[in-house]
Structure 1
């Protein structure tokens, strides 16, 4: 992991409300948003900005993660106004000589804070352009760099911009620096959700991006977050120069380190690839053959083929020896149907027998093997699809989504309500390690894939079909073994760090 990866992890924790504790005496973000609306109304009254149409309320489906109760989600466009820039005429030489005015392009948006542009234009050239004050946030919205980065900078000296950049002037200057940090923290999400490819150069779907939900803490907490990030920056710099300080950093961020390790693992960056281990395309062919045999034997039903995964859909690049597929391509995913529970399970509950796995049996990635409900073995045998008799992953699909664990298959059990199973096609020989599947689903990308269609009602939920459609990066089997072994080694160190902190 490099220093930028570590910084990204810190920013992610910051904007989720996990970097500093909440304090009741600091009030709530509702109060702050009321003040921002008042300031916006004043600017409209003074005709400094135009009145805009009210934006729709933010739905639960739009929220990319949970935030503390004292925070609020607010649309980006409700916090300020966006402006575009342009390029002065190239046919007027004086525009580009003896320049004194900053003219920022995408090439300038490389550092967090901007004081001077690479190209200065003359005052005459700047007369027809808008000059942005200190505190304006500049962001690249059209550039090839959007394939991998979302460049954003905070303006420390006035300047103007070209057409590849948007300037964001915030109504309430008190929130400017937090909002800048927030956009940097949301960069991976922004690229995944709003980047579009065109024939010449990538760009953002700006209308959608401009109304994205932003997590807003109370004002005092914003400052504490900024202070904490600034406090951590020397550690990040030291880590970049000398990894001998890795242990000290891990003591502060064991959870963040775990997530980063998992992400590295499933991107093919944790262990090297070996040519002699073959490739995942051949492995997928074997899995398809096994799946076809199970269908022929009527042990599973034939499912409709899913569409091919396009390059735009792939959340990251993988090694050449790997392959993108769906969970449904490598595993049988199912649940106990509602009518089966009503007809067969509920009327036949007993005090001893085949245990039922419920959502509460799967906590923090571990199985809690204390059962409340049992059914007779003959009832379990009547429902082989939802029976658990071999190694598999158990996945709650209502409640705490993403809380997944491996069942070792050493005894017979059965799916209860709200729990599905992912049973890898390892009947004739091992093709995919359940431990590797678990690592992927616990990673940052895997969790996003798993929860991208999450419905937030009284209890969060996803469909079993959504689990089948989770995109999955498949390495060769031997590399899976090496990844799992390396993760076991490194995650144990993280656990030790956590216990010492």
Structure 2
């Protein structure tokens, strides 16, 4: 049960006469409040004790509207009388002031019970001093025999008010005074009202304590799934998730093949020869890996790493980029597009923009990383049925062997992968890294067959975690 449900249950029990025992010595409600009962033809909302009675709320409580103000009447001089608006009761800390002299019933003072009836709803026992109040707030005048705090707790339960009263308005919902006055109000003897209030006020601090524990558990529960996945990924990157198979071709042979393929692509003029990356020292290696694995720098693993758009060329085609127009030539792929499955807020370019950004064109299978703000956010580009090109604040990595994509993807999402990216990121307000630094990060490489087993095991475990969390 959530804290909100527990509070609602306490208030419901209170209004049904189930929170405290009835005392036969109490003077019945019918004798303490001289009001008209509800018409007998009206079905009672629920059964109440015999010494209680149902009344219409308006027969025991008068609701007085505040005043609507012209803009010229709302001043900023804090020496004047504050004007209480609905927002001040909930989220707005800025105040207006007034020099108007109004009738007595247009002011509220400490101890007055008020009710916000438009946009935001709810009662408040005011303790903010002498103020003028706005039209969207009611001040209550309560007949003898009705305890103010009992009424407050009745109005605090939205089921009693919004559940019974129709909300009006298309742009700003509100409760009408007529409907409020017609509300069925369960009236106990006055002494019992006071005992109910005392019991509620004894229980509510306990509910607050429960809420703290509940929220802590919710936080732990919400984080548990992510932490469990992170542990799985870290184990995978350390070579602890699946057993090594001595018959697997070691990673050193895989690296030789990648080097040979890269050399062939350079020879054929398909890619440019890149600057040799520094050798990996033992001090750089963050942990030990199995003997059949190797440490490698991402730049040695990749055919292409580019952030061409992010480096400034996007501005050159800004006039060729449009939003929400599917008839354009190419989608400018943003990392956010993968999260929403290319269903909204898409950005497109025309043929000129697509050709201008030909170094960032995507064909499927590339790994896209967000390189600013959301460090570690990454996606593998699916097979495409239309041209696409990279958008700003993203880096595209295309590996020599696309079969290695999945392992690299899970590395980037792992704690060690995230650590590597944060190590190369700079900036105080928003971290960012560039393609040059990305080429130098360390990656632990298992044999190709073991990579496949690791990916299979990761996805099996992650799917199980997701099912358990539903």
TM-score (structure 1 length as normaliser): 0.46
Q: Which has the larger radius of gyration?
A: 2
TM-score (structure 2 length as normaliser): 0.49
